[in-house]
Each structure stands twice: as structure tokens, then as C-alpha cells.
Amino acid sequence: MAFPTTGLLDNFNRADENPIGNGNWSGPIWSGDNQLRVASNQCAPQTSGPWHNSYWSAAQFGNCEVYATVPTVGATDDDLNLYVRIASPGGAGLDCYIFAIGYQASPSNNSVIYRVDNTTLTQLGASLTVDLDAAEKIGFECNGSSLTAYLFESGAWASQASRTDSTYSSGYIGAEIENNTARLDDFGGGTIIVASGGMPAGVLQPMGIVW
């Protein structure tokens, strides 16, 4: 299945904004954290504080995807995280799924897919090794009970791992930056677009023989 199937939601090309808003963003996802902001036409963390997160509050999605470009990575082990199916953001009942990447120049077991129940994280499956570099893109897809983490490098999207969990079926999408260095840009996502005929967008359909 092709990834992504949806267009950009926010390219952040506007005047600086703090916190990020523009009628479409809310935050934070976690009580007590900072919200993201717009700085120099990119999505940025605050200048101090450890955790910065916001969610696209214009719509909730079921089978969905989220992705962003990473123009600047953080320091070692600084996380860049994508969220799907967020419910009760900012509350003690926060539920969601997270694709979390801790930046490492020589990565080893630096990434995890989590399920969050009532603000408690459960790692799904094994730790992952994701070799993220600046100017690449990260993505996360939640299709039915299938959760798939993606990395865009060398000009193509590639699945990094898939997990299966059916606990949560819909919610908001969002993003998070740890500490104050990393940046995100070109945030996209939404409901997975299925091409006519029931095949997901981008999937080649077999050609029938016509007599």
C-alpha cells in the first residue's frame, strides 16, 4: 500500500505563531507540556522546556495517517514523535498511539511504537532501529488494527515496522518535539484515501483479460 495517500495539512508558511493555532491546532497533548509554535515557516518547539506537542484539532480520523518532514534533528536521544487516534488530549484519560523516534547518529533500538492508555505507555512489540537524518520524513499509519511506522529516505517511503492493536479506533493526529533543537515541516495526514474499486490509493490493480 502506498504511503502517504493524503495531502499536506499545514506547511507552516506564515507569520510566526505561538502557540501554533491557525484555527486548526490545539494542545498540549500531555497535561503540563508546552505547545508547538510556528517559527521561520517551520513547526518548532518552545525555546525552553523538555516536551512540546500539539494536535490537529480540526478533525478526528479513523483509518488515518500522519507524516512530516524533519528539516532539523535534535540532540542525541531527543524524540520526534507522531501521534494517531488521540482521545482526551491534555487529560488524565489520554489514549492514543505514538511512533517515537529518538534521534541517534548511529541508531540502535532508538524507536518504539506505543499504545497509550490513560497516560500510561505500553510498548508494542520490539524496539526498532530507525536511521533518521535531517531533511528526511517520518510517517505513521493506523489502518484498522494495523499500525505502521514509515521513514522517507533516499527518495522513497519505506515501512520500518508494523504492529497490531485494535484498542482505539479514532481520534486526532499530532506531533511532538523533545527539547529545543529539532524542527518539523510540511505536516500532512488525515483519513487514508482508498482508490475507487476498494483498493488503497497507489496500489496497482491486476489487469483482467478481455476477450
Residues making contact with another protein (CB under 8 A): 30, 50-51, 109, 114, 117-123, 125-127, 145, 164-167
- Cβ proximity to another protein: between 38 and 151 the closer is 151
- Cβ proximity to another protein: between 51 and 55 the closer is 51
Burial (Cβ within 10 Å: 0-12, 13-18, ≥19) of residue 146:
middle
- Cβ proximity to another protein: between 109 and 205 the closer is 109
Question: What's the closest the beta carbon of residue 176 comes to another protein, in angstroms?
Answer: 11
- Cβ proximity to another protein: between 159 and 167 the closer is 167
Question: What's the closest the beta carbon of residue 4 comes to another protein, in angstroms?
Answer: 24
Please check whether residue 27 is in contact with residue 19, taking contact to mean a CB–CB distance below 8 angstroms.
yes
Question: What's the closest the beta carbon of residue 146 comes to another protein, in angstroms?
Answer: 10
CA angle 124, 100, 13 (to 5 degrees): 145
Cα(138)–Cα(67) distance, integer angstroms? 6
Please check whether residue 124 is in contact with residue 200, taking contact to mean a CB–CB distance below 8 angstroms.
no
- The total of other beta-carbon atoms located within 10 Å of residue 95's CB is 19
Question: What's the closest the beta carbon of residue 77 comes to another protein, in angstroms?
Answer: 11
Which amino acid is it at 159? S
Question: What's the closest the beta carbon of residue 121 comes to another protein, in angstroms?
Answer: 4
Three-state DSSP state, 131: coil
- Cβ proximity to another protein: between 59 and 126 the closer is 126
Please check whether residue 121 is in contact with residue 100, taking contact to mean a CB–CB distance below 8 angstroms.
no
Residue 106's nearest CA partner among 147, 134, 76 is 76
